[in-house]
Amino acid sequence: MISDGFVQLSFTIPMALGPKTKMAVHCLAEKMNLQEIKIIHLEQIDTEKTFCILQGVCEAEVDVEKITENPEPELVYDFQHINGYIQEKIKRQIVVMGASLGRDSMPVFLDTLFNVSGYMGQAGLETYPQFKAINYRADLDMPMLAKKIADLQSDAILVSKVSTRRDDPVIDLRKFLRELEKTPGVPQHLVKICIGPRLNEQKAKDMGFDMGFGPGTVPNQVAGFIAQEMCKRLAL
């Protein structure tokens, strides 16, 4: 039966395996509102820790009709999926650039998104065969960067600005958008993304960016977003 509500859970509880353990796990599962609880595995893994696996039935229901849109952009595709998607839809490499704005900027966040080493076990953009990823870090000033974008016909740009002063990043990021408008030859479809510790989608959109990524962003999210945006823009 499809909607049987069957679930299987594994977790570790902070107590030794003893006469009370089974009951404790049962109580915990009841508090999770599970029915027909079956504890299928209990094993002590340390003096005060027990590993449990249990099965049960979850009677909670969700009305799919009522789900409209996901408030947070859910773009976590995997590496192969994204590359396949680009290959199939866009049929060429996407050029993506990264740069930090301002002199006291810290390109480390940018590096975690671009480098092979990546972040949270996900390799950075430069490993994607379907991306031509160029990370300028803090090497270029704003006019130079805008010129590069025009010269190399970049499809997407990731800018970061990490500053010790609170409002500084916003000002610089806006300046960058004005610089882009001034520069001839910047591709119309350029996907503009800003990244930084205090940024999110709303703040980024208020400034005129297409997207903002904050802390904890993994390369796949960025790659997935760029791929999707590109498709929208090129009306594919």
Does 116 engage in binding with other proteins (CB under 8 A)? Answer: yes
Question: Among 34, 77, 96, 115, which residue interacts with other proteins (rule: CB under 8 A)?
Answer: 115
Figure out which of the listed residues 100, 105, 135, 220 binds other proteins, where binding follows CB under 8 A.
135
Binding to other proteins, residues 156-195 (CB under 8 A): none
Question: Under rule CB under 8 A, which residues in 79-98 are in contact with other proteins?
Answer: 79
Under the binding rule (CB under 8 A), the answer on residue 111 touching other proteins is yes
Tell which residue, 122, 127, 105, has the closest CA to residue 197: 105
- Between 136 and 225, CB nearer to other proteins: 136
- The residue (of 60 and 116) whose beta carbon lies closer to other proteins is 116
Structure tokens at 29: 């599962």
Residues 29-48 that bind other proteins (CB under 8 A): 45-46
Of 100, 105, 112, 154, the one binding other proteins (CB under 8 A) is 112
Nearer to other proteins, 108 or 234 (CB): 108
Q: Does 10 bind other proteins (CB under 8 A)?
A: yes
CA 2/CA 9 separation, integer angstroms: 18
For residue 71, give both structure tokens. Answer: 């408030």
Residues in the chain: 236
Q: In sequence order, what are the residues at sequence separation of 6 or more whose Cβ sits closer than 8 angstroms to the Cβ of residue 134?
A: 95, 96, 97, 98, 152
| C-alpha span between 77 and 157 (Å, rounded) | 20
Helical spans, DSSP H, in the chain: 21-31, 79-89, 108-114, 142-151, 168-182, 201-207, 219-233
The answer to the question of residue 201 lying near other proteins (CB under 8 A) is no
Residue 17 beta carbon to other proteins: minimum distance, rounded to whole angstroms: 13
Q: Figure out which of the listed residues 96, 126, 180, 224 binds other proteins, where binding follows CB under 8 A.
A: 126
191 touches 156 (CB < 8 A): yes
Q: How far apart are CA 218 and CA 5, in angstroms?
A: 32
| Cα 233–Cα 116–Cα 147 angle in degrees, nearest 5 | 45
Asked whether position 117 contacts other proteins by CB under 8 A, the answer is yes
Report the SS3 class of residue 213: strand
* Subset of 50-79 contacting other proteins (CB under 8 A): 51, 78-79
Q: CA angle at residue 133 from 116 to 158, to 5 degrees?
A: 100
Nearer to other proteins, 133 or 186 (CB): 133
Closer to other proteins by CB, 81 or 203: give it: 81
- Output 77 or 176, the one with its CB closest to other proteins: 77
What residues make contact with other proteins under the rule CB under 8 A?
10-12, 45-46, 49, 51, 78-79, 108, 111-112, 115-117, 119-121, 123, 126-129, 135
